[in-house]
């Protein structure tokens, strides 16, 4: 039994300072759960924006090696973000015999086997509840609570920035650019938002969840990603008004007979579905298990204190095991390295599709369109033709087609053929439905 657990915080931005704040506020609770004193020994950061949180007992450094070289440090909390030097910090910490708590989805998703392999060899723990879903305890639910299931599908709203933007577009009729600006003003989008709006963040998060579900590394390189930056408010409006749906950026991992298929794309969700209620920075995740059916989790996926609370729960459980001398005897993530992972192709995805076609208003055009789809084995659920409020080009007309469940490759081939028609006046908009 250790009477003290020594922590070191590397990275002291929004989440790092939030974590220290919660640790101070909840110290009595935390220490009761841990069964030992929990002490923040080091903070490593380039600058110290929240000096009021840093008392005299905490040592400060700009050099993360100081933390690694201190043999008293039991656990390193990496909250720098990005890949460099975060990956080096985590690897060096494990190799120096320290446990790790991290919220870093980039390094976990891209270096899964390296990180957990090193952890296993060193018999150290890596906890990462805050890396996916912010305050929503989805990592633990998937890794432990639902361990009695084979999870064959995960569907999630995993990115708060895009969900904030989509909520704004939906509720205020704003364009993508306007909604992005609103998100930046509200502090929900970075100055350079590419990582979020192009679906890269969601791809890394679904890679982590799918790797937990599969017990094998499914890297983000296998995720087919489509962001929201090309979404038009026209579609957002039509989908809401005509189809009683809302657009969400969904991250989906599914085990098909041909293997795992991972994808991120804007998706039509019926307003009656609980996902439609996940507004702004909220995340929602549905886990489908063979025994339990569907389990849904919902909560704040971003924000300082929600994310910091997930980091703190990791700190509590890792510290408890450190205090008791059991930490690292059992790896947190189980991996079956020896098995090869099978991947299916995006072409084999089956779902329903929304197609918005801008075409010349000429006789026979509709029959041509439906003919192309029929030839490609895409069957239609409904056809809608009118101006949809677009009076600017009176000679052209908007046709909206909703398909029955169809194969991605067949729909893509149809859209290609439609866009080659001389009567088609703009690139066809394709959105998927869940």
Phi first, then psi, for residue 284 (nearest 5°) are -140, 140
Three-class DSSP category at 401: strand
Hey, CA dihedral for 115, 118, 119, 120, is it positive or negative?
A: positive
Site residues for a copy of itself per CB under 8 A? 22, 26, 29, 32-33, 35, 129, 135-137, 139-141, 144-150, 215, 272, 274, 277, 289, 291-300, 305-306, 308-317, 320-321, 324-326, 329-330, 334, 336
The CA distance from 314 to 79, in Å, is 13
Q: How far is the CB of 371 from a copy of itself (least distance, A)?
A: 40
Q: How far is the CB of 286 from a copy of itself (least distance, A)?
A: 9
Q: How far is the CB of 268 from a copy of itself (least distance, A)?
A: 18
Output 186 or 381, the one with its CB closest to a copy of itself.
Answer: 186
Structure-token pair, residue 47: 């600058």
Q: Which of 346, 348, 380 is nearest to 226 (CA)?
A: 346
Q: Which residue blocks in 215-303 are alpha helix, DSSP H?
A: 233-243
Distances (CA, A) of 386 to 108, 235, 237, 358: 48, 14, 14, 10
Angle at 178 between CA 177 and CA 180, to 5 degrees: 65
- Give 408's strand partners: none
Output 82 or 274, the one with its CB closest to a copy of itself.
Answer: 274
Q: How far is the CB of 320 from a copy of itself (least distance, A)?
A: 5
Query: Which residue is catalytic, options 41, 105, 124, 205?
Result: 205
Output 211 or 376, the one with its CB closest to a copy of itself.
Answer: 211
- Give 256's strand partners: 259
Q: How far is the CB of 322 from a copy of itself (least distance, A)?
A: 10
Q: Which of 83, 336, 133, 341 is nearest to 222 (CA)?
A: 341
Burial class (CB in 10 A: 0-12, 13-18, 19+), 157: buried
Output 244 or 379, the one with its CB closest to a copy of itself.
Answer: 244
Task: Give the side-chain half-sphere CA count within 13 A for 88.
Answer: 6
The CA distance from 13 to 47, in Å, is 9
Q: How far is the CB of 313 from a copy of itself (least distance, A)?
A: 4
Output 122 or 295, the one with its CB closest to a copy of itself.
Answer: 295
The CA distance from 107 to 78, in Å, is 11
205 carries an active-site annotation: yes
The CA distance from 250 to 16, in Å, is 28
CB 43 within 8 A of CB 60: yes
Q: How far is the CB of 25 from a copy of itself (least distance, A)?
A: 8
Output 321 or 424, the one with its CB closest to a copy of itself.
Answer: 321
Expressed in angstroms, the distance from the first to the final Cα of the chain is: 51
- Give 251's strand partners: 156, 264
Output 316 or 433, the one with its CB closest to a copy of itself.
Answer: 316
Phi first, then psi, for residue 153 (nearest 5°) are -155, 140
Output 176 or 332, the one with its CB closest to a copy of itself.
Answer: 332
Burial class (CB in 10 A: 0-12, 13-18, 19+), 399: buried
The CA distance from 200 to 154, in Å, is 17
Q: How far is the CB of 28 from a copy of itself (least distance, A)?
A: 9
**Which residues form the catalytic set?**
205
């Amino acid at each position: 039994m250790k009477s003290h657990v020594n922590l070191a915080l590397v990275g002291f931005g929004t989440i790092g300072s939030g974590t220290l704040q919660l640790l101070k506020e909840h110290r009595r609770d935390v220490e009761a759960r841990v069964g030992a004193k929990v002490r923040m020994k080091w903070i490593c950061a380039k600058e110290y924006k929240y000096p009021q949180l840093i008392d005299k007992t905490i040592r400060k450094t700009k050099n993360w090696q100081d933390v690694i070289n201190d043999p008293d440090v039991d656990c390193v909390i990496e909250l720098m973000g990005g890949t460099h030097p975060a990956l080096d910090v985590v690897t060096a910490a494990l190799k120096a015999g320290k446990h790790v708590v991290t919220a870093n989805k980039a390094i976990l998703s891209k270096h899964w086997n390296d990180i957990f392999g090193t952890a296993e060899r060193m018999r150290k723990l890596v906890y990462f509840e805050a890396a996916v879903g912010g305050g929503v305890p989805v990592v633990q639910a998937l890794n432990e609570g639902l361990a009695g299931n084979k999870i064959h599908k995960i569907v999630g709203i995993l990115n708060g920035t895009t969900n904030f933007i989509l909520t704004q577009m939906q509720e205020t009729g704003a364009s993508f650019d306007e909604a992005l600006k609103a998100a930046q003003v509200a502090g929900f989008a970075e100055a350079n938002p590419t990582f979020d709006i192009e679906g890269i963040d969601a791809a890394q998060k679904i890679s982590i969840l799918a790797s937990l579900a599969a017990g094998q590394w499914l890297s983000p390189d296998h995720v087919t990603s489509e962001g929201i930056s090309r979404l038009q408010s026209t579609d957002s409006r039509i989908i809401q008004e005509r189809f009683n749906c809302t657009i969400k950026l969904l991250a989906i991992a599914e085990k098909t007979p041909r293997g795992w298929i991972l994808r991120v794309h804007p998706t039509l969700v019926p307003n009656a579905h609980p996902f439609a209620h996940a507004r702004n920075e909220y995340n929602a995740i549905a886990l489908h298990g063979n025994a339990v059916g569907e389990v849904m989790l919902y909560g704040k996926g971003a924000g300082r204190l929600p994310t910091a609370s997930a980091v703190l729960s990791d700190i509590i459980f890792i510290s408890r095991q450190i205090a008791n001398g059991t930490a690292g005897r059992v790896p947190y993530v189980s991996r079956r390295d020896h098995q090869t992972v099978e991947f299916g192709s995006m072409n084999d995805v089956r779902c329903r599709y929304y197609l918005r076609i801008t075409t010349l208003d000429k006789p026979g055009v509709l029959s041509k369109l439906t003919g192309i789809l029929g030839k490609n084995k895409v069957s239609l659920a409904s056809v809608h033709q009118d101006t949809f409020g677009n009076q600017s080009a009176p000679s052209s007309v908007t046709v909206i087609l909703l398909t029955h469940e169809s194969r991605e490759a067949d729909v893509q081939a149809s859209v290609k053929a439609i866009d080659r028609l001389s009567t088609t006046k703009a690139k066809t908009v394709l959105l998927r439905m869940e």
